[in-house]
Amino acid sequence: MSLRTLLLTAAAGLALATQALAFEPLTIIDQGSFSAGGTVTTQPGTFDNRSPMDIAGQTFHGDHAYASYQVPEAPRSLPLLLWHGAFQSGKSWETTADGREGFQTLMLRHHFPVYIIDQPRRGRAGNSAVAAEVSPMAFDQLYFDLFRIGQWPAYFDGVQFDASEETLDEFMRSVTPNTGAFDPEVVSDGVSALVDRIGPSILITHSQAGGPGWLTAIKNPGVRAVISYEPGSGFVFPESDLPDPMSGAAGTLEPVAISDADFDKLTQIPILVYYGDNIPEEPTNLFGLDNWRTRLAMARLWVDAINARGGDATLVHLPEVGVTGNTHFIFSDLNNGQIAEMAATWIEEKGLGDPAQ
């Protein structure tokens, strides 16, 4: 271990210790977890208590969503549902990789009830109704690039991500695989069932959950607003007015056609989309960066399409409002206190931040 690494590690340890000391007590008036949605399938035949390793006549519960929740004292009326991205679980929203308070706890301090989702076929909701081969995928450097921490092995100057080895190790251990094929319909059905159970809610999506988040809002009028951090795919457009696909070094990003009637449902709720820093405006052959050039461009078209039909969508490209250095994990970056504050303020501005009666 180099002296620099040793010092950085010691500093990170000190930061962790300080953080632990600094935790301001939280009063929780309810907490727990539950599943929602999913399917039940039954095998043909007759179950025999003497041979229960034989599946004959047995059932299987799968494809449900899981949520754990906490309600703080003096809660607001609309809870937040935090929905992770690809290769992630609810852990995304908990303690940050460098040991600070995660978005979960920050938003509890803003008096929101907070629900953390593991989507169907991921994490604690791993009982998939379809089989999958799970293989270790050596993609840490892909993630480093794609999540715009830097361009491996270099961190971006001014990036909002602690550059210690300990932090990167913890960050990489938030990765967890699909236990069944990712299916936007299955995961949005699961989260819609959560909304049925929880009641009117504000959906907060990250990355891969962006597209299924729009589908959930279309399926369920209980979704009263959506904040999406760097939606990465599943940009839904009215079939009558599809934009062209966008190509680049990371492949081709296709718009997803839905009915005009479904699209119009997205014009009925306020929507806020955030993108972070270090996204090029011009094409580059660096996969991890060019990937976001096309996505940011598509998101701009998407927001314009919502607003052209009378909706209320806003895209905030953070560097354009003076907030710099954010990675793809905006909500857990070093400035996540400011990011949480921005989200809470927007919710209040939209008239959705009232205290519970």
Binding segment (CB under 8 A) for its own copies, from list 7-15, 86-94, 181-189, 264-272:
86-94
Task: Write the single-letter amino acid at 334.
Answer: L
CA atoms of 182 and 176, how far apart (whole Å): 13
- Selected binder of its own copies within 210, 211, 222, 288 (CB under 8 A): 288
Q: Does 354 bind its own copies (CB under 8 A)?
A: no
**Torsion over CA of 67, 186, 84 and 257, rounded to 10 degrees?**
-140
Tell me the closest approach of the beta carbon of residue 150 to its own copies, in angstroms: 10
Structure tokens of 53? Answer: 């390793």
DSSP state of 281: S
- Selected binder of its own copies within 75, 85, 126, 325 (CB under 8 A): 126
Tell me the closest approach of the beta carbon of residue 251 to its own copies, in angstroms: 9
- Selected binder of its own copies within 160, 174, 220, 278 (CB under 8 A): 174
CA atoms of 345 and 354, how far apart (whole Å): 12
- Selected binder of its own copies within 256, 287, 317, 335 (CB under 8 A): 287
DSSP state of 253: E
Tell me the closest approach of the beta carbon of residue 316 to its own copies, in angstroms: 27
Q: How far apart are the first and last CA of the chain?
A: 56
Q: Residue 52, SS3? A: coil
Contact in structure between 236 and 188 (CB atoms under 8 Å):
no
Q: Does 139 bind its own copies (CB under 8 A)?
A: yes
Query: Within 227-256, which residues bind its own copies (CB under 8 A)?
Result: 249
Q: Does 155 bind its own copies (CB under 8 A)?
A: no
Query: Within 330-349, which residues bind its own copies (CB under 8 A)?
Result: none
Tell me the closest approach of the beta carbon of residue 235 to its own copies, in angstroms: 21
CA atoms of 68 and 236, how far apart (whole Å): 29
Tell me the closest approach of the beta carbon of residue 92 to its own copies, in angstroms: 10
Number of residues that bind its own copies (CB under 8 A): 85
Structure tokens of 253? Answer: 């990003």
CA atoms of 33 and 67, how far apart (whole Å): 5
Tell me the closest approach of the beta carbon of residue 214 to its own copies, in angstroms: 25
Closer to its own copies by Cβ: residue 61 or 221: 61
Q: Does 138 bind its own copies (CB under 8 A)?
A: yes
Q: Does 192 bind its own copies (CB under 8 A)?
A: no
Task: Centre a 10 Å sphere on the Cβ of residue 39 and count the other Cβ atoms it contains.
Answer: 13
Q: Does 6 bind its own copies (CB under 8 A)?
A: no
CA atoms of 209 and 228, how far apart (whole Å): 8
Q: Does 26 bind its own copies (CB under 8 A)?
A: yes
